[in-house]
Amino acid sequence: MRYINMGGSELRASVISLGCMRISDMDLKDISELVDQTLELGINLFDHADIYGGGKAEEKFAQAIGMNPAIREKILIQSKCGICRGYYDLSGKHILDSVDGILKRLRTEYLDVLILHRPDTLMEPEEIAAAFEKLKLSGKVRYFGVSNMNPMQIELLSKYVKQKLIINQLQFSVAHTSFIDSGLNVNMVNSSGVDRDGGVLEYCRLKNITIQAWSPLQYGFFEGTFIGNEKYPKLNQVLDRIAKEKGVTSSAVAIAWILRHPTKMQAVVGTTKKRRIVEIAKAADIELSRPEWYEIYCAAGNKLP
């Protein structure tokens, strides 16, 4: 397994993270075995959110692993807040209340990273800054990040927030490449040249903000995986061929494609299967060449100008 210091911080995290969105419906025994397998592979970062299973994902995670100080110090936990039923809420009070609930459900005294889950157009950055300061001084949160935010939204927050924002979670896969497309199609009159993200890829590189790719094996917005999907015949043909050459699965190659980018991204993988996490973890040991990377990119239906 490979590791990076997230956002230049002291947090040394695996390049692959286990996303815990789907564990709320699992048996405790199965969760325990999944986490054990994940740790055995060297994956030490676990991604949560208070909205996952209405909080049950966090609660069952803590129960399944028998959370205690000895276990807690071996892992990195991040969780997210801000998504409510039918609206977003990044008010200072909601953030503080959410963290208290998260810590209680996870049976821990602190989060390694708190992430603001979605942009809230009604957010008041001064309130967020005050909440972050309280959480930092109390020891409840070590570091902070955002999710699905563009550069100007991060700049607005950073004007008031004292703590460096070390994470930006963005949807990214070989079948969802908008912030790659716009950078490759500069000055081109085509749909791929439309900048939908405000140059977020380059911005995060400049600011040393780690991009965490969510839904790294998905296309659309939770529409399904592109692996083995008849909608992506050429992509799967290329992934299968490269996977066979390297002795891994096509899923591992698709994750390695993300990890190959010099931005040094992390992939948040939401599998609930031990076998799948074993297969996917091999992505950290795969080095794709430039021709292979671009071949995969184009096989997904993208065109180079």
Identify the residue whose tokens are 């996977």.
243
> Is the residue at 75 inside a domain?
yes
As given in the structure block, the two tokens for residue 271 are 């599998």
Question: How far apart (Å, rounded) are the C-alpha atoms in residues 171 and 150?
Answer: 12
The pLDDT of residue 223 is 84
Query: Which one, of 132, 149, 142, lies nearest residue 88 by Cα?
Result: 149
> Is the residue at 95 inside a domain?
yes
**Total tally of structural domains belonging to the chain:** 1
52 is catalytic: yes
> Is the residue at 304 inside a domain?
no
Query: Which range of residues forms the domain containing residue 191?
Result: 3-299
Residues 6+ positions from 192 with CB-CB distance below 8 Å: 181, 182, 184, 185, 302, 303, 305
Question: How far apart (Å, rounded) are the C-alpha atoms in residues 18 and 24?
Answer: 14
The pLDDT of residue 57 is 98
> Is the residue at 152 inside a domain?
yes
Identify the residue whose tokens are 């966090």.
58
From 52, 203, 219, 232, active-site residue: 52
pLDDT in tens, 95-137: 999 999 999 999 999 999 999 999 999 999 999 999 999 999 9
Residue 247: which region, alpha, beta or left (left: phi > 0; alpha: psi -120 to 50)? left
The pLDDT of residue 220 is 86
The pLDDT of residue 222 is 79
Handedness of CA 296, 301, 302, 305 (dihedral sign): positive
> Is the residue at 213 inside a domain?
yes
Task: Give pLDDT < 50 ranges for the chain.
Answer: none
CATH number at 184 reads: 3.20.20.100
> Is the residue at 49 inside a domain?
yes
> Is the residue at 305 inside a domain?
no
